Structure 1
Amino acid sequence: MRYMATYDMMETMRNANQWLGATALSFASYPIFSMTPNPAFQWMAAWGEVTERTFYRMVAKPDWGIRTFTCEDGKDHLVSIDIVVEKPFGNLIHFAVPGRKPVKRKILLVAPMSGHYATLLRSTVKSLLVDCDVYVTDWHNARDIPVSAGKFDVEDYTLYLAEFMREMGPDTHVIAICQPVPLALAATAYLAEEDPDAQPRSLTLIGGPVDPDATPTEVTDFGRRVTMGQLEQTMVQRVGFKYPGVGRMVYPGLLQLASFISMNSEKHAKAFSDQIGHVARGEDGDHDHHNRFYDEYLAVMDMPAEFYLSTVQRVFKEREIARNSFTIKGRAVDIGKITSVAVKTVEGGKDDISAPGQCIAALDLCTGLPDSKKASHVEPNAGHYGIFAGSSWRNNIRPLVMNFIDRNSEAPKPAAKPSAKSAAA
């Protein structure tokens, strides 16, 4: 029962606030009150509507919302989301567009497992669907995974990525965003030794902490200051009886959300107070800026405790990827073994989570890769979110990434066999 009471208490508080919002909205919306109009009832209903929506979104997995796509033939084609590989902690999904002409670029988009669902990359997927065949890693909420499924740490995550790359084949181009960047690099190095023919054509790393100490941020400083014992005592809880993963140790999504909001509490408080005013005046909508942003931002998922703790310990504190000392089941993974996969890094000049310098460190680790296979880009005015979504991604970064993919789409030439003369010598 250790840590279970606190998990249930957090869920109870969330549930109670959702109920209060629904109650206020229902009460203030009674038709009888229309006989004597009073602004107080309008504000109460607006507060209730915003509150109910806010606390409901915290436990609702967002929908991808990508149902049709207009192709070059001018027709709208349905988009089906198919499961290619199904595993306990995450699936490989494919955004199939039946009836569309085959496209050359096959993309594996590696979504982060850092509190939000893969749907956070919705706009990125939409932009790639234009001329790419898109696959995405869709990670599951840990509270819905039974304890019988076992553990899931950074080594398991890396092996999942390697399996997904094998499934998709060597003509794949991998784009990893944020948290999975160092592990996508490790998975590629793992395949370079274990199954060279399954390696992807290219690897694009966007805003990830390959070397957290290259340019320290508040995130990396936190990882340095806090001990592993403190993290386990304050951040880890056990899933309650309401969910299939009862008893599993997790880093709860609600606790993560509290940390996210505390970093910019005044900004978020103003956004919600302004939204209540918009609702009261009838100026809101399901797809207004506030709801579009917060419907995704508030939707959080629990992370397996062993994944969270091993990420902090091995990626941030011990810097195993940065020191090229990462191991899987006791076997060393040498990033220098990557010799044929083109690697590109993308960083944002105003990224305060994974600052410039942390991601480009990957290129120095690829000692076996020729300079012609390496590339990097820093987007001067982009923050962390802007380097994979928004105008910076659409206008500047995406065209560079597509050009990089096209330049490295050909299969690597096999090494030349020594001639009989040189062999005799």
Structure 2
Amino acid sequence: MVDADQTFVIVGGGLAGAKAAETLRSEGFNGRVILVCDEHERPYERPPLSKGFLLGKADRDSVFVHEPSWYASNDVELHLGQTVTAIDRDAHTVRLGDGTVIRYDKLLLATGAEPRRLDIPGTGLAGVHHLRRLAHCERLRDELKALGRDNGHLVIAGAGWIGLEVAAAARTYGAEVTIVEADPTPLHRVLGPELGQVFADLHAAHGVRFHFGARLTEITGQDGMVLAARTDDGEEHPAHAVLVAIGAAPRTTLAENAGLALVDRADGGGVAVDETLRTSDPDVFAAGDVAAAHHPALHTRLRVEHWANALNGGPAAARAMLGQSVSYDRVPYFFSDQYDLGMEYSGWAPPGSYDQIVTRGDVGKREFVAFWLKDGRVLAGMNVNVWDVTEPIQKLIRSRAQVDPERLADPSVPLETLAA
């Protein structure tokens, strides 16, 4: 039974942390809720930073999870611009950067992830960007506007989701774009070469230049400003700005220093949690980008760095903190918007895990659904400019039913009938 005199502390002011606080209150918890955020902005959502807000299609206020008054109205103590520097698990306390010590009964780590850095000369030049925070987005948006106005060049290191979405925004503003990617196609480690080529063709049709099979080795400049980007195969690309989009690393230092169990980086990294999102300490939980959860439906451990995981994981952790029965088994889901292409992806099918790809619809027109299969069972599905199919795709994944590839490829066969 949760008592009113208990204190629940949430470390991390992103979507997962904010939704956890919201859920604690909506579920009737009337003890103290303390939300510690190392940014000076109240919690906000990150997808707009590479989509609508970056493109100028959404205003600044639209990115925030709650109205400013929500925290006081719901008696959530919001500590902005504060870091948690240490966890004392024996004493059940956290220490803030200003020296304040707070005792907790339950603790949620929602510390998220941070952009991976390039360890090469020139990363300190003006015009070298990362994209994770609202301030990053505002600086990058101003840069893209200037590049478009002046016919400037943007070089992007990495052809993952962030790199491609920013490329689309940059081309929309009118900037010249070159993407340098070590793999042979965009999104190679997510979609494989077959579907990665769809995104290569999409961006090429919009004037993006790709340099595959290479890595940046140096960013050169003059008077502190970017001039060019060099690669390990001897090429040099003119550049007025560079975006480093080579992935994100879970922010696990706090958990590691506290002695919590972690997952090896080779296996995705993160704080190890069970299906209830509980860590190796029964009073400490983790959710969002930092949590590597055992997935009861997929029978593996996953760390998912996407909006839906934060949206759903924060509330699940909050309910578990309250002692409710929780089994966090959401099918991984994410979405992307690039030019006139919208897509949704459900499931988990890393390269090597599948033996067949089946498509229904017109891939050439970029109006199709793709399925990744293993032994006739659907591991993942991606709908491109085809809508209202996420639920049946996820049902297929959950069912683990063997499907007839010909019927799966036939648009006249309702997806809902294939999981029976």
Greater strand proportion: 2
TM-score (norm 2): 0.23
Bigger Rg over Cα: 1
Greater helix proportion: 1
TM-score (norm 1): 0.23
Higher RCO by CA contacts (8 Å cutoff, separation 6 or greater)? 1
